[in-house]
Chain A
Amino acid sequence: MTSKLIKDYFRTDKLPHIWCPGCGHGIMMRSVAQAIHNLGLDKDKVCIVSGIGCSSRAPGYMDFNTLHTTHGRALAFATGVKLARPELEVMVITGDGDCAAIGGNHLIHAARRNINITTIVFNNNIYGMTGGQYSPTTPTNEFGTTAPYGNIDKSFDIPELAGAAGATYTARGTAYHAKQLTKIVENGIKNKGFSLIEGISICPTYYGRKNRKGSIVDMMNWLKDNALDIKVASKLPEEKVKGKFLIGEFKNVTEPEYTEEYMKIIERFQKER
Chain B
Amino acid sequence: MSRNNVDLRIKEELCKGCRICVEFCPKKVLIMKNEKVKIDDIEKCIKCGLCELRCPDYAIYLGGNDNEKQ
Contact = CB atoms under 8 A, between A and B. Distances in A.
* B partners with A: yes
B18 interface: yes
A3 B56 contact: no
B57 A16 contact: yes
Given A4-B67, A217-B23, A21 B58 contact: no
Interface in B1-59: 9, 11, 13-14, 16-20, 23-24, 52-58
Interface residues of A, number: 29
Nearest to A218: B23
Interface residues of B, number: 25
Interface stretch (A25-33, A188-196, A229-237, A251-259): A25-33
Contacts of B20: 22, 216-217, 220
A21 B70 contact: no
A174 to B, nearest CB: 11
Interface of A: 1-4, 6-7, 10, 15-17, 19-27, 30, 175-176, 178-179, 204, 215-217, 220
A176 B13 CA distance: 24
B62 A17 contact: no
Contacts, number: 75
B11 A23 contact: no
23 contacts: A1-B63, A1-B68, A2-B14, A2-B58, A3-B62, A3-B63, A4-B68, A4-B69, A10-B58, A15-B57, A15-B58, A16-B13, A21-B18, A26-B57, A27-B54, A30-B53, A30-B58, A178-B53, A178-B54, A179-B53, A204-B18, A216-B19, A217-B23
Which secondary structure dominates where chain B touches chain A?
mixed
A16 B56 CA distance: 10
Interface of B: 9, 11, 13-14, 16-20, 23-24, 52-58, 61-63, 67-70
B16 A1 contact: no
Given A3-B67, A217-B19, A19 B56 contact: yes
B23 A16 contact: no
Contact of A3 (B23, B54, B68): B68
A21 B14 contact: no
